[in-house]
Amino acid sequence: MGIEGVNARIANIQSRIIAMQTQAAGRTAQQSQSSTTAGVASGDDFASYLSDAVSQAPGSSRGYTLNSNGIPTDLEAYGNGQIPASALEQVGNTRHKLWAPAAEALTRMMSDAQRAGVHIGITDSYRTYDEQVDLARRKGLYSQGGLAAKPGTSEHGWGMAADLDLDAKALAWVRANGASYGFYNTAPRESWHWGFKPGSSDAGQQFAMQ
Ligand SMILES: [Zn+2]
């Protein structure tokens, strides 16, 4: 979605929320009035609309969305590991790039950790398809006891995971706080691999996409 599309969606959400608030106020003042009038939203409709609006903007207020496979809709057309650098966002002042909401969340997590006296480093972030092929050759496929996802399926290939350089203190901090930034240790055998799962309610789900 282009920036015009994002702005249009935000304007649409704002206008609908204002309309619903107006309707809700009207209902409160006129409880006896029928609520079957077309266009009048019930409280439940409002709640579900709000929840839809929020879930359509995971990890960001800028309208980024994930498709049903959990892949960023603004990146899916490129393909896993085929994303141009210009479509990704830099993490803080590092040389690493991720999907924009993931980059922003990780930047925030790293600076909050720093304020708590904890240093989080990054060893790997977005990874190209060719780099994943090379990694799989060197480290073996995860499904076969190795440490690499099948090329074309890695969270790294969508800019949705970072490998973090963590000492014991930092690992404990990220385990305690990562979820509140949307980061989960999605590879059970790799304490360094943190996938970005915005709005995730299934923190325990294992994706094996390291
Ligand atoms: Zn990883």
Q: Are residues 51 and 94 in the same domain?
A: no
The total number of structural domains that make up the chain: 2
Residue 72 or residue 1, greater confidence: 72
Q: Are residues 128 and 48 in the same domain?
A: no
Q: Are residues 90 and 51 in the same domain?
A: no
Task: Report CA torsion sign: 74, 78, 84, 89.
Answer: positive
Q: Tell me the CA–centroid distance for residue 199 and ligand 1, in Å.
A: 20
Give residue-wise pLDDT tens across range 28-68.
Answer: 444 444 444 444 445 555 555 555 544 444 444 467 899 99
Q: Are residues 92 and 149 in the same domain?
A: yes
Give residue-wise pLDDT tens across range 104-161.
Answer: 999 999 999 999 999 999 999 999 999 999 999 999 999 999 999 999 999 999 999 9
Q: Are residues 92 and 155 in the same domain?
A: yes
Q: Tell me the CA–centroid distance for residue 192 and ligand 1, in Å.
A: 7
Statement: residue 206 has pLDDT above 70: no
Rounded Cα distance, 23 and 40, in Å: 6
Q: Which of 178, 149, 173, 160 is nearest to 91 (CA)?
A: 160
Q: Tell me the CA–centroid distance for residue 134 and ligand 1, in Å.
A: 14
CB count in 10 Å sphere of residue 195 = 25
Q: Are residues 127 and 183 in the same domain?
A: yes
Q: Tell me the CA–centroid distance for residue 63 and ligand 1, in Å.
A: 26
- pLDDT for position 200: 63
Residue 47 lies in a domain: yes
Q: Which two tokens stand for residue 188?
A: 């059970």
Residue 62 lies in a domain: no
Q: Tell me the CA–centroid distance for residue 196 and ligand 1, in Å.
A: 11
Q: Are residues 134 and 181 in the same domain?
A: yes
Q: Tell me the CA–centroid distance for residue 10 and ligand 1, in Å.
A: 34
Residue 97 lies in a domain: yes
Range of the domain at 11: 3-55
Residue 156 lies in a domain: yes
Q: Are residues 179 and 91 in the same domain?
A: yes
